[in-house]
Structure 1
């Protein structure tokens, strides 16, 4: 985002697309096959596609609203001006909760996957110890600043891309259509398990915090930013679909129950795939890919939480001030992960409910109010009038209802 931009030429769409795809695709993708195991491939793919559409529209709504304001204006500025201070407080609390719960989820996931990695090397390390050590390393990079995080993230992203293509080329070669479509399965009422999938799909398309930076990056060219959002989220959608095919086409549906009973952590999924494929090279690639996926997501989320807390608490950007903010950033999620080390799947589900406020409802309300206040705006606008706004708000209501029913244990759960 800090790349120098010439005065006469805007950056390529490719860079913005990569930023969005890299932000969306992370460790959260490992939760999808587990929570989708009840609805299985066909229904889960349809729900994922619908979620992608709604999350893309909400991002485009935030983009349209942002173009009414100076470049760089974020959620706090727009929400306070258009929706008032009370909603701004609620929106800020939802952002803080999502980033905090995801930090906890990634600490939990990193401990589990690193324990699995060390076990393969005959090194007995507990998940708590591995998670603690890795969290302290991430905290060091976050304390050093954005430049350090961006350099490390670039390394992780490169490794993730390379291992992704190597891994999925192997996984897809082992896919069995009888497993993917559950031919001869005993459970025919798959759709009733689909409701549980919605909050997890929503949490898997979080990129809205990057939109303000892209507007600055492309100097207010809304059309270019819109193309980045479209292409970036489409690429993420394709990756998710390939991942679902690769896992559901190799692991029998019934085996996901045991994975869920282990907390749905990444190491359980890695173990299941490794045991079924009986391929040492694919098992290594799967471990490497999952490690880098967790690491890149972990760095991005914690840096976002750090920046939000620093701005909220008006912390000094010097070494001492950054140290204080770093401690505040990690102390609660790390403590929770040490006490409840297997909460990855549950945490992602809670993130979906909280993200509904700031990534779905708030953008829809913002664009609705902005169109009232700026009726003669001549810049880029999302087409379709109020129909996309209504669709996104209905999606938000559906997600809230499903999440609350889930927390009350009123929805059928397959993988339990």
Structure 2
């Protein structure tokens, strides 16, 4: 059993499993579980295939380099500039959102311990400590993430066991909204919930001795875990709260309070899950930005640490109450970076007559995502669908 590959799959899963998971029942319940499940499966399939395209490009461009080098080798200087701009915008937005959310949790936790911290102090403390873990290297993030993910799975299992006995099957088949345009609008929330592709270049480097089949399985398994968690959570919540109740909630806190009124211990459990989900997502995204900065600026770890966290922290302090707005911007950027950029890289790699970045005799041995031109065309349509959902 390769623990590095298992740990890497958990990093993929942990990066996807953010606190947005808790909001999924609120946006999907009104459309009924059949349509909600189908849409989630479509989003999962599209994002996983795009991630496999990025895996292919990472391997063919000489091993898991940062997106900076991969873009330069496949798309040239212009593509490198565009990719870097999109990646930095995405990662900074995500880290800002996670710092804002984590700062609030740190403040509540320290208040419970009798220590009064301001929001600014809470955000700074969280960023400095969690950032130091990321700066210690992928191996440290891997080991810590295994522990955090195991705890998160236990917490989720306890929550599901608390909710399952009281589920009402009548709620599972209720639908209060049959407007498919409204259903499509929820795609942006679901898509952001599968935003794990940013860690793939780092993990290919980390698993340099792994076979291409093992790397493919790492990505697929890592994406299946959050899919299963999202669906189980959706069914458990909708089975206990009616769609009419769920659609009235304006934020996750109201959902947790509503469940807490029925199950006394679940409020504490869900708060713990939210904190763990934020932390695992922060570690994955911060690792991607740290490695990107290391690849771009070629500085020592101390300088890279400052370059990685100074802008997200400053943005979080400036936009302290804009958690959902920042995530919305991140979702729009993610469509281009997670779908269209890997597709462009793949087309360039496959159509290039002279592959200057991989020895010609090794090309046949390199991993290639299946599906050919048809799958690429469907992936392009998927990206257009997501853009339309964002702009409606």
Range class of TM-score, shorter chain:
0.7 to 0.9
**Of 34, 40, 44, which aligns to 1:42?**
34
Residue pair 1:38, 1:190 contacting (<8 A) in 2 also:
no
Structure 1 pair 269–313 and aligned structure 2 pair: CA distance change class (3 A):
farther
**Of 341, 355, 380, which aligns to 1:362?**
341
1:269 and 2:255 matched: yes
Q: Aligned runs of 1:12-411 on 2, under 5 Å?
A: 14-114=6-106, 130-131=122-123, 133-142=125-134, 149-182=141-174, 187-216=176-205, 217=207, 219=209, 221-260=211-250, 264=251, 266-275=252-261, 277=262, 279-317=263-301, 319=302, 321-322=303-304, 324-325=306-307, 328-338=310-320, 341=321, 343-373=322-352, 377-379=363-365, 380-405=367-392
Q: TM-score, normalised by structure 1?
A: 0.81
Identify which range, 151-160 or 9-18, moves more after superposition.
9-18
The alignment covers a number of residue pairs equal to 383
Structure 1 pair 220–369 and aligned structure 2 pair: CA distance change class (3 A):
farther
Distance of 2:257 and 2:177 partners within structure 1: 27
Structure 1 pair 352–140 and aligned structure 2 pair: CA distance change class (3 A):
same
Distance of 1:111 and 1:74 partners within structure 2: 29
Structure 1 pair 219–351 and aligned structure 2 pair: CA distance change class (3 A):
same
Which sections of structure 2, spanning at least 5 residues, go unmatched? 355-359
Structure 1 pair 190–242 and aligned structure 2 pair: CA distance change class (3 A):
farther
Residue pair 1:17, 1:228 contacting (<8 A) in 2 also:
yes
Structure 1 pair 160–373 and aligned structure 2 pair: CA distance change class (3 A):
same
Distance of 2:287 and 2:96 partners within structure 1: 13
Instruction: Give me the CA root mean square deviation.
Output: 3.1
**What is the deviation of 1:13?**
5.5
Q: Which has the higher helix share?
A: 2
Residue pair 1:59, 1:359 contacting (<8 A) in 2 also:
yes
Structure 1 pair 106–272 and aligned structure 2 pair: CA distance change class (3 A):
farther
Q: TM-score, normalised by structure 2?
A: 0.85
